[in-house]
Amino acid sequence: MSPHYWTAADSRYEVDFLIQRENDIFPVEVKAGAFYGIKRERIANVLA
């Protein structure tokens, strides 16, 4: 799977990366900053 960036025409939605694990595909939004919160834990659980 090649990485792609997608955004809606009205810029309300975007997908930074897609991760495929077996038959499932997960959208991932990437943010820069010191606070990652619960989203980081959820992504780690998906990748585990």
- Does residue 32 sit in helix, strand or coil? coil
Provide, for the chain, the percentages of residues in helix, strand and coil under a 3-state DSSP scheme, each rounded to the nearest 5.
25, 30, 50
In angstroms, the CA 8 to CA 45 distance is: 27
Pairing state between β 14-15 and 17-21: unpaired
In a domain, 1, yes or no: no
pLDDT tens, position by position, 7-45: 777 767 667 787 888 888 888 777 766 665 656 666 666
The pTM (predicted TM-score) of the whole model is 0.42
What pLDDT is stored for residue 27 in this prediction? 80
**In the chain, how many domains are there?**
1
Domain range holding 29?
Answer: 6-47
Run of H or E residues at 40: helix 37-47
